[in-house]
Amino acid sequence: MDRRQRKTREAIFRAFTNLLSEKDFMHITVGDIIDRADIGRATFYAHFETKDFLLKELCEELFCHIFDSMNNEHSDHRHIFNCDAPKSVFLHLFRHLSKNDNKILDLLSGRNNELFLQYFKTNLCKLIENQLPTFNADKNNSLPTDFRIKLIASTFVETVRWWVANGMKETPETITEYFLCAV
């Protein structure tokens, strides 16, 4: 992707995330996004097939950023998410959620979030599969791996929901400890 394409894509993401702070996902139109990004309709569709695909790409950007930082691949891949990554990928994810980086937490905890939650869980399962040795191997070792991954992903999502419902009083470090103790 050349610089011009990357800047346009970033403008679309920025417009979309700004709109997410004003409206529910279901009430945002492609017209709203292109007006806010100051681009043409054809330009939007050159980057994203639909508004739903834009949502999917936003989620994949977060997890791509996490995977790249986990693999120390910072140099040649630009992300809309930026930070100094901690060693724990789960702490890294909780930190982005605590900052509501690119309105990611609003999407996870908001109304009409089923589509985003589906994308989030798909990417979360890939992350968990990669991090499976992190979890106590003696615990649940008789469970099928795919079931165990889904169980851990569900625990992560419910941990986020509990954290949000209780006002996010715990630090990302503390909530990461809670999550890791629960699985």
The enclosing H or E element of 177 equals helix 172-182
∠ CA 123-115-109, rounded to 5°: 85
Residue percentage of the chain with pLDDT more than 70: 83
What pLDDT does residue 53 have?
A: 92
pLDDT, tens digit, for every residue of 54-106?
988 888 887 777 777 766 655 444 555 566 666 788 888 888 888 876 677 76
Q: Phi and psi dihedrals of 64, rounded to 5? A: -65, -45
**pLDDT surpassing 60 at residue 1:** yes
Choose the weakest-confidence range: 4-18, 27-41, 65-79, 142-156. Answer: 65-79
**Residues 128/149, Cβ–Cβ less than 8 Å:** yes
What pLDDT does residue 77 have?
A: 42
pTM confidence score? 0.74
Domains and their CATH numbers in the chain? 1-48 (1.10.10.60), 52-182 (no CATH)
pLDDT, tens digit, for every residue of 95-128?
888 887 667 776 776 655 677 888 888 889 998 9
* Helix ranges restricted to H, 38-141: 41-47, 51-70, 89-99, 104-109, 114-131
**Residue 119 neighbours by CB under 8 Å, 6+ apart:** 55, 56, 59, 60
**pLDDT surpassing 90 at residue 134:** no
